[in-house]
Each structure stands twice: as C-alpha cells, then as structure tokens.
Amino acid sequence: MLAYLIRRILLAVPILLGVVAVVVISLEIVPGDPVALMLGEFATPESIEATRADLGLDRPLLVRYVEYIANVFQGDLGTSIKDRRPVATIIGETLPATAQLAGVAILVALAVGLPLGVASAARPHGVVDNAVRVLSLAGLSMPVFWTGLVFIVIFSVELGWFPVAGRGSWRHYVLPSITLALPSIAILARMTRASLLEVLQEDYVRTARSKGVGSLRILYKHALRNALIPVITALGLQLGQMLGGAVLTETVFSWPGLGRLTVFAIFNRDYLLVQGVVLVLATIYVSVNLLVDISYGFLDPRVRYA
Amino acid sequence: MKRGILSLVALLGISSGAAVWAQSTDELVIVRPSDPVSLDAQEETTAPGAWVFGNVIEPLITLNADMEIEPRLAERWEFVDDTRLRFYLREGVEFHDGTPFNADAVKFTWDRALFSDPPGRWASLAGPIAAVEVVDEYTVDIVAERPYGPLLLTSTMVYTGVVSPAAVERLGDDYARNPVGTGPFEFVEWRTNESITLEANDDYWRGRPDLDRVVFRTVPEAGARTLALQSGEADMLLKPNPADLASFESSDEFDVLAATGLRVFYLGFNLERSPLDEPLVRQAIAHAIDVPGIVENLLEDAATVPTSVISPGVLGYADMNLDERYPYDPDAAIALLEEAGFTQNDDGIMERDGEPLTLQMLPAAGRYLQDQEVAEVIQEFLRQVGIQVELNVFEWATTFTQLREDPLQYDMFSFGWLTTTADADYTMYSNFRSDQFPPDSWNSWRYANDEVDALLTQAREETDVATREDLYAEVQAILAEDLPAVPIYNTIEVTVVGSDVEGFEAHPIEYNLDLYPVSKAE
Amino acid sequence: MSAPTTDANAPTRGTWKRFRRNRLAVLALGVVLLTVFAAVFAPWIAPYDPAAQSLFDRRAAPGADYLLGADAFGRDILSRIIFGARITLLVSLTSVGIGVAVGGALGTIAGYFGGWIDTVVMRLMDVLLAFPYLLLAIIIVSALGPGLTNTIVAIGIWTVPAFARISRGSVVVLRERDFIGAARALGANDARVVGRHVVPNFVATLLVYGSLYLAYAILMESALSFLGLGVQPPTPTWAGMIAAGRDYITSAPHIALIPGIAIALVVVSFNLLGDGLRDALDVRSDG
C-alpha cells in the first residue's frame, strides 16, 4: 500500500513538470509585452528595459524554466508582473473563493445527481428515468456560461431573488453553484443509474432477491455501495471539470476566484501568475484523481495495490 | 444528512448572515469594473486605484468639478519666477498614523516619485522638474529645469497626493496595500478582486465626513453592476452600461450625474502608408463616418460629439469645427475618392490602378467604451462608400504592443487618449510633434509639420495662460486641415447613484472621485 | 475519459437499420443535417446580410421585422445565427478531425509498438490530460493568438489525448488477436498490418467518439469565444453573440439568450447522434 502510494506520487511529478513546461513554452510565444502593458501610456523604452531586467525576463527561456522549477520546490512561485506581489500570496487569497464555490457545487451535484440516478435505476425506462435522461442530456449540452445568464435573467432580473455580483452571503452562492453543478449533476445521475443497473444484474443481488428481500432494500443495502465505485471515479473527473468550468462561471457571476484570476492573468500577460495558477490547479486535479484511485481500496476489497 | 451538509457549509467558511444586503445609511457601497493594481500612486495611475487612494491622500491643490484650481494641503501658491512655484502649506494637519504633515513630507512624496530608481509611474507626466526644495517647515518650492507652463496643473494631479513618510518607511513594499495620507477617509481592508473598505477619518482637517464607511466592490460584468444598483445592493455605480442609462434616468429611484470627460476616442491614420498619406482620402473617410449618429445611437449619448482632438475641459482647447468641415456626406466622400483617382467597380468597391481600396485597421478592443463596436460601425460606414476595412482585433495586450511598434503595420487604428494633466501640452506635445514617434512617444500617426513643432515648443515654455491658449488654438486649426485623425467621441464621466445619495458631483477627470461631500439620506 | 474496452464492429448495412430504429437519433441527425444545410446555403437562406447594421433598430425585440430580434447594432440575430453555423461546424469538424488523425495515429503507434514508444507517447498524453478542462485550450489559444485557425488548433490539441487513448486501447486488444499474428507470420510489414488489419477494426469506435467529441468541441469553441479568445468579431459566432449580448442582459436579454439555444440544440444533437451510433455499431464504452 505505502509502496504503491509512493510510486503513484513519484509518477505524478514528471507530469506536473510537463504541465509547467507546456505553460512556460506557450507563454514564451504569446504576443504582447507584459511589461509595456503594465507600465502603460507613460512608459519610456528605458523604463521598460529596466523593469524587464528587474523581473528577470531578459534571461533565456531554459534558465528561467530550471530556476522556476527549483523555486517551486521551495514553495516560491515567483512574483506577479502586474501586482508585483508573490504569486503564492495572490493564489492563496483567491483559492478559497473557488474552493468554496466548487465545494458547494460538488455537494449540490451529489445531493441532486445521486437520488436522480437511484430513482432512474429503480424503474428503468419509466417516467422518472426518461425525464432524468432528458434533463441530464440538457445539462450536458448547454454551455455553462449561457445557463448562468439564463438563471440571471430569470432569478435576478425578473424575480429579484438572488444577487449576482460577487461573493457575500449565502444568497450569492445559489446561482453560481447550481450553474457550475449542472453538468456534474447530469454525469452523476447517468453514472449512478448505469452502475446500479449493472450491479443489480450480479449474482449476489439476484440471490438476495430470490430470498425475498424487498427491491428498495436491495437497492440501498446491497447495490448502492458497490455501485458507488465508478461514481466516485466520475466525481474525481468532475472536479477537474469544475476547476475549468469555474473560469466561465466566475466570469458570468463576477466571482473573485481562481478562474477569473486566470483569465485576467492571461489578458495581462502576467506569465508567472498564469504558470502558478495552472500548476496549482493541475496539482489539485492530479491529487484528487490519486485520492480517488486510493479510495477504491476502502470501498472495494477486491482491489489490490500491485 | 442535513446536519452533515450544514456543517460542511460551515467548514467551507460561508457566512450565513446577509451581510451585504443589510446596509446601514452611513455606508456607501460603490460598484466598479476592476480592482486596482496598487493603492500607491507610485505604481498605479489608472482610475480603479486613483478612485480609492484619491480619498486617502490629498495633493497640494486640486481641480474642482468646474476645472478651477482649489487649495487642499496648500493654502496659497505663487510663481516666484518662470521656473519656481512656491506653495505655502496648511499647518496642524496630521496623517492617519498621527505623524505631522509638513514641507518635508511634500518633498519626500515628490522625490520618491521623480528621483528614485525606477521612477514612479507619474514621473513622466510631471514635466522637467529639477528639484523640490524645502524653504521652511510649511513652505516648499517646486523647481522646473526650464520655463514650463504646465507646472501648476501638474501639482493638481491626484497622484501627487502627499504620503506619510513614516508609513512608507515602516511598511516598505506593503505600503502599496496600506496607503496612509491626510485625506477624509482611512484605509481599512483590501480583499483582492472583491472589495476595498475605507473608514471616515475622525480628525479630518475639514471636519469629519458624513459617511462612516465606503466599500468599493469589484464587479466586472456590466449587467451585474446594473443589477447590484437596482436591487439596492450598491449605492453608486461607476462606468455604467450606456444601454441602461435611459432606464436609470427615467426612474425616480436613481440619479444620473455626468460631466464631460477629458478622453477623446479617435480613428487614427497611418500617414506613412499609401493611400492614407493623401489628404483627399483622409477627408473622404471623415465625410463617410456619421459621428453624431454613432454617439447618439451606439453610445446612447453616454459620450458627446467631439469638437477637437482634445476635450473642452482641457487648458488650450479650441473648437476644430469638424461638424462644418467634415459633415456626414457619403456622396462627398465618394466624390473626394474619385478626385483622388479611385473609381467604383461593379461590386461597389473603390479601385485605383486595378487595386481595390482595402485598409487594415487595428482597433482598440475591450479597453474603452464600446471601442470594438465603434470599429465595427466604422467598417460598415466605410463599406458604404466603397472602402473595405479589415478589422484586426486582438486582446488589448497585443493591440497595445502593436500600436507602439515602429513602423506601424496597419493603415488605421483606434485609440482613446486621455489628457491626464488637463493641460493641452501633455497630449499635443507627445502626439503631434515630429520627434515623438513610437516607440519612444505617442505620435502614432507619424504626423510631421514643422510649423506645429515650433508652436508646441513655444507653448510649452510660455507661462502666460492666455498666450498658451492662442498657440494651441493655432495648432488645432492646422490639425483640422491636415486631419491625422478623426475624433469619434468625447467621453462623459457618468456616475449613477441611488436617489438617497446626496452631495456627489461628477468630475471631468476620470480619476477624481471626491467622496468627502457625499452623504446618504435617512 | 477512460479508454473503452472495445469490441467494435466495422460499419455494415445492418448498422443503418439499427440506427433507424432510434427515433431520437434520427431526429438528431435531422437537426445536424439542417445545420449543415443552413451553413452551406447561408447567403440564400438568411433574411438579412448578417453584417448590415441599422442603428435605429438596435436591440429590437423579436417580431415581424426581425424574427429573433436585432442585436446592439441592429443586426438581424436570425441571419447571424445562420451564418454563425458556419464557424460552429467548421471549427468542430476540423478540430475533431485533427484529434482523430493525430490522436489516432499516436495511439496506434503507441499501442502497436509498445515499449518505450508507448511510454513516451502516453506520458505526453498524461501531461495534456493533467490540465483541468478548458485551461489547456485557453493557454494554447492565448499563446497563438485568437482567430479561426488558432481556435481550431487549440481545440484539436485538446482532443488529441482522448483519441490517442481510445485508439491505443483498441490496438492493444487487437494486437493480441490471432489474425494479426497470422498476418505478421505471413510476412506483412508493420505499416501494412496496421493499415489493413488494425485501423479498420476501431473505425467504429472512433466514429462514435468523434460524434461525441463534436459536441464537446462545440462547447469548447463556445467557451473560448465567450471569453473573447475565439474567432473574433465581426465574424458571427454563436458564443460571440452571447458574449456581446451580456451587457444588455437587463435591457434586452434576447440578444444573449437566443444564440445559446442554437448551441444547446446542436450539441444535444451530436450527443444523441453519438449515442445512436454507439448502439447501432454496438460499441461498448464506460463513458
């Protein structure tokens, strides 16, 4: 078990190094000079050069990459070009807003998606199943930002129920978290249904049934636990979707999180900030998937760590 | 299960109280599009920062909403000679940290911006300043290297607000997020990309402000800002969406306050490229664009029809009579193009020597009010007289970098220039002198006229205001003839407030947002 | 996206018969064909020139003059949606084409040869997959600059790892089969074995996933356009229309909301089409 864990973690490191390399190389060819942009209309060529040197941007790509990696291992993500503050500090200030939004959205997705999936599996091709099928198809097909705008028009402009500008009380969470959760609700409902139906075909369930155990009881007591395993995999993938989807949701709802920060950083050509955000998001994503793999062992004793 | 969810919600740190919705009458909530970079004028000269620090620090003198000079930390001032401006300072004023305000603090502030390495962001706006000299505890001289007319207006800039030397030394780099000045409000908290909070300065030398707290909230979406004001979540909306102004104006619940701004948005021509090096073609384009139509219908009158390359509020402004010289007249445009040797082909496109008239345009996008939309409308107007325009739209970072390149790779561009100092010298000198081509300066149209060069130098060195105004009027008359650019709109600084907000005055300078006189009715 | 354990059948005559029985899938095919038709014949179908502005009619509500209303410039929204279909289809088809071609090739090579080639290729794919949704495309497109070609390239690269995994999975399974061994034993060279025996055997899988990825690609193009990183105005794109309509969400919500219906409709159709193909071609998947 421990050996397996260490092996998995060691495997994740080159992947993250690769992620940083992709970002560094991409940003190198981005048109638009971040320093000239930052200094604005009053800048002189001398002040631009001086600032570039000050930020170390005048050195070769490979040197910057190696140094960046070395610093990352010491917890230093560099300094934002625009804000002139440590990237780690800025991410630290911004991450909680995204974590809260994604956290609430995951809860919403579970709270809605699981029961819908169970209800669908209880009577395949029944009314509920068909309705859920249509809804989840819609949830997967509507662009997130558009759903958000539809919610804004209905619940804020017309009904005036929820605010849409940024973060504050619990009311501010309602629309963005539902918007962000919608595709995940669809996926979770589908996965739960498919997985439950498969488990229900297996021998031990049939045995229980032949012994006269009620079907609802079978569903909850015997089937659900085993059916949850693939659902948890899906949940891990959904988190990745949400971290990316947050870029759109946070834009629509003026949410002060990492997603919006990424977009601003890209528009401002704030290289180190973009690198830092992507590295942090990719690390979270890779770690969550690692956790998902490990959690198999607790849910399914058949899984062995080779 | 329910308890589980609730405790998870608590774990995530979401407050269950409706904090933002429960507003007291002495708190003013302002919504605006973006967060500042810094609250130190050294590093931040754009409006989102200045709106905040302009209420924390104060300059020696200031321009009021009628563009008249008013005293602030200086009681009076005089030109001792052509190059030396003397300020007599107010006594007994204290910074928010309790340290005293005096001539040393003024020298500290100016020296820090002008003579440190690298210099502060506003140093290049200040002009050729040689030194700031302390005469006595409450008298200070600002000395120019040579006679420099704009010096007085330089001293009104919000960036020159005096900072507490003790605080700057104590806080170091952290000062950028903890400004300390003498102003009516003290800095409390900055939550990145979310909100900035200020609190009343109880010991303010003009008396405590009516407002207890001011909260600047960052809301990038225009629609969301409108909704925030409509729902009562906010009291003041900066940079409102033009399309929403009509509904605000017709409502009793809101007041729309406006002042003609100092930014002019232009269509600029690259005079180094054919055929825009021909005056006839430039004049044809001017006739082809319905400028008043754009202002009324696209900008919803949230801007005014420009009358010059600089705004009426700027010292040195003169009417260029553009409406009489170049009225909207597509037929005249076509006639001018034909005079220049173009003929319309079967598709209605202008051709000369078998070459269609196609212009590459680099429009500003996502930076100024309706900038990209204006470009699309210009494209359509020019299409109607047979000129094809290709829009090369990029993100602002890329556009900005390309605009500063030499040579400029496009035939036309659009840009919104703000006369930050409210003095014509700032715009005229950098934009129209032949030795100010990019990348060093801002003559992006590559305009070169010896007569204009001479007039601009003369106007800069003159300290008599009336003489300076005459010189700039001459320059503007020449520019109306040469037409390196077609002004499209002049900004209006619009602020929408709830009708319970009293005492606010819109200011022509985008960066000035004086909250001291503001109060909220019970 | 987990690699499917495929047991795919190449498309046959029976496929169409089975597909036809799925009424939703047939309906979806109808919507897709209609969209293709609209895109190809846009200049003849659209009631107005999509670029023609009429500032007096700006933000006109849907009605007799403008069936779906007019945007902030007084341009006809219906006409712009019809022309916008061109970009939607062009971007999704070509980018998924890139994904299928490049990803399919890489996956086939990795799966067929195995060993260090397999390791290098698949680790590279892992790097691309480690980017949370949308971020990879955003970074590529901001590096290359917005615009049609770069949007296609960015989305194409984003789809590569999925197709690489799918085809590698299929090839690994097929490689162990007897008929491949037989072909090799008969002296066929690698390229011939791959071309004649391996590739046709997972075409069905690629077809199903291609259809589903068309749906994802459209959503990805929408996201990029919405953020201002996609195809630039005045070229009409559906998501670009939504983005531009955001400012009028309180005064004229139809500008932003109507184009979204077009996106959702076409994405639903490609999803249903993919499901229908999967059933008809009998491709097993755990996605």
Asked, for residue C247, whether it belongs to a domain, the answer is yes
pLDDT over threshold 80, residue A8:
no
What is d(CA A248, CA A245) in angstroms, rounded to the nearest whole number? 5
Note down the domain range covering C153: 34-285
Residue in A33, A37, A169 closest to B15 by CB? A169
Cα distances (angstroms) measured from residue A216 to each of A116, A197, A220, B135:
15, 13, 6, 91
Q: What is the CATH number of domain B261-492?
A: 3.10.105.10
Asked, for residue C18, whether it belongs to a domain, the answer is no
What the block records as the tokens of B448 is 């070169």
Which residues, 6 or more positions from B348, have their beta carbon under 8 angstroms from its beta carbon? Answer: B386
Is B244 an interface residue toward C (CB < 8 Å)?
A: yes
Is B391 an interface residue toward C (CB < 8 Å)?
A: yes
Measured between beta carbons, the chain A residues lying within 8 angstroms of C260 are 142-143, 146, 149-150
**What is the β-pairing status of strands B358-362 and B412-418?**
parallel
Is A88 an interface residue toward B (CB < 8 Å)?
A: no
Residues B341-372 pLDDT 10s: 999 998 889 999 989 999 999 999 878 888 98
Best-predicted range by mean pLDDT among A129-143, B165-179, C55-69? B165-179
| In the block, residue with structure tokens 């010189």 | B471
Preceding omega of B118 cis (within 30 degrees of 0):
yes
Q: Which residue of A has its CA nearest to C214?
A: A141
Asked, for residue C26, whether it belongs to a domain, the answer is no
Q: Widest CA span of chain C, in angstroms?
A: 76
CATH topology of domain B5-36+182-259+494-520: D-Maltodextrin-Binding Protein; domain 2 (3.40.190)
Amino acid at B37: V
Residue-level pLDDT at A297 = 63
Residues A210-220 pLDDT 10s: 666 666 666 66
**What is the β-pairing status of strands B501-502 and B236-238?**
unpaired
What is d(CA A267, CA B277) in angstroms, rounded to the nearest whole number? 34
Domain count across chain C: 1
3-class SS of residue B413: strand
Q: Do residues C74 and C57 lie in contact, with contact meaning Cβ atoms separated by under 8 Å?
A: yes
| C residues 181-240 lying closer than 8 A (beta carbon) to A | 215, 219, 222-223, 226-227, 239
Whether C56 and B379 lie within 8 Å, measured CB to CB: no
Q: Which residue of C has its CA nearest to A281?
A: C132
Q: Which residue of A has its CA nearest to C269?
A: A141
CA distance A29 to chain C (A): 6
Is A271 an interface residue toward B (CB < 8 Å)?
A: no
Chains that touch C (3 or more CB pairs under 8 A): A, B
Which residues, 6 or more positions from B129, have their beta carbon under 8 angstroms from its beta carbon? Answer: B110, B114, B142, B143, B144, B145, B151, B154
Residue-level pLDDT at B118 = 75
- How many residues does the structure list for chain A? 306
Q: What is the mean pLDDT of chain B?
A: 89
Where along chain B do the CATH 3.40.190.10 domains lie?
A: 5-36+182-259+494-520
Q: What is the DSSP letter of C146?
A: S
Residue-level pLDDT at C3 = 39
CA distance C39 to chain B (A): 23
Whether B379 and C248 lie within 8 Å, measured CB to CB: no
pLDDT over threshold 90, residue B492:
yes
Lowest mean pLDDT among A135-144, B234-243, C277-286: C277-286
Where along chain B do the CATH 3.10.105.10 domains lie?
A: 261-492
- How many residues does the structure list for chain C? 287
Residue-level pLDDT at A208 = 67
Is B292 an interface residue toward C (CB < 8 Å)?
A: no
Helices (H), chain C: 13-21, 23-40, 42-45, 77-98, 104-113, 115-129, 135-144, 148-175, 178-185, 190-193, 199-226, 238-245, 254-281
DSSP per-residue string spanning B295-359: IIIISTTSEE---SSS-TTSBT-----HHHHS-S-HHHHHHHHHHTT-EE-TTS-EEETTEE-EE
| B residues 205-244 lying closer than 8 A (beta carbon) to A | 217-221, 223-225, 227-228, 231, 233-234
CA distance C250 to chain B (A): 6
Whether B377 and C142 lie within 8 Å, measured CB to CB: no
pLDDT over threshold 60, residue C273:
yes
* pTM reported for the whole predicted model: 0.83
SS3 per residue for B79-128: EEECCEEEEEECCCCECCCCCECCHHHHHHHHHHHHCCCCCCCCHHHHCC
CA distance B420 to chain A (A): 10
HSE-CB at B486 with a 13 A cutoff on CA atoms is 28
What is d(CA C12, CA C3) in angstroms, rounded to the nearest whole number? 24
Q: Do residues B300 and B370 lie in contact, with contact meaning Cβ atoms separated by under 8 Å?
A: no
More confident of the two residues A103 and A212: A103
Measured between beta carbons, the chain B residues lying within 8 angstroms of A96 are 13
| B residues 151-180 lying closer than 8 A (beta carbon) to A | 173, 176
What is d(CA B442, CA B427) in angstroms, rounded to the nearest whole number? 9
Lowest mean pLDDT among A19-33, B220-234, B276-290, C66-80: A19-33
Whether A146 and C257 lie within 8 Å, measured CB to CB: yes
Residue-level pLDDT at B425 = 92
Q: What CATH number does residue C173 fall under?
A: 1.10.3720.10
Residue-level pLDDT at C5 = 40
Measured between beta carbons, the chain A residues lying within 8 angstroms of B216 are none
Is C31 an interface residue toward A (CB < 8 Å)?
A: no
| A residues 97-136 lying closer than 8 A (beta carbon) to B | 97, 99-100, 103-104, 107, 111
pLDDT over threshold 50, residue A283:
yes
Whether A267 and B124 lie within 8 Å, measured CB to CB: no
Q: For chain B, how big is the Rg over CA atoms in Å? A: 25
More confident of the two residues C6 and B413: B413
pLDDT over threshold 90, residue B136:
yes
Is C23 an interface residue toward A (CB < 8 Å)?
A: no
pLDDT > 90 in chain B, percent: 66
Residue-level pLDDT at B501 = 94
pLDDT > 70 in chain B, percent: 95
Asked, for residue C11, whether it belongs to a domain, the answer is no
What is d(CA B496, CA A277) in angstroms, rounded to the nearest whole number? 36
Measured between beta carbons, the chain B residues lying within 8 angstroms of A50 are 117-118
Residue-level pLDDT at B510 = 86
> Which residues are bridge partners to B237 per DSSP?
B31, B496
Whether B15 and A152 lie within 8 Å, measured CB to CB: no
What the block records as the tokens of B119 is 């210099």
Average pLDDT over residues A57-84: 81
Whether B243 and C142 lie within 8 Å, measured CB to CB: no
Q: Widest CA span of chain A, in angstroms?
A: 86
Residues A59-71 pLDDT 10s: 787 887 888 888 8
Whether A164 and B5 lie within 8 Å, measured CB to CB: no
**Mutating which of A11, A22, A95 best tests the C interface, going by the most C Cβ atoms within 10 A?**
A22
Q: Which of the four pLDDT bands, split at 50, 70 and 90, describes residue C8?
A: very low
Preceding omega of B150 cis (within 30 degrees of 0):
no
What is d(CA C256, CA B243) in angstroms, rounded to the nearest whole number? 14
Residue-level pLDDT at C197 = 67
Measured between beta carbons, the chain A residues lying within 8 angstroms of C145 are 31
What is d(CA A97, CA A90) in angstroms, rounded to the nearest whole number? 12
Is B308 an interface residue toward C (CB < 8 Å)?
A: no
State the count of interchain CB pairs (< 8 A) between A and C. 137
The domains located in chain A, with CATH, are 96-257 (1.10.3720.10)
CATH topology of domain B47-177: Dipeptide-binding Protein; domain 1 (3.90.76)
Preceding omega of A86 cis (within 30 degrees of 0):
no
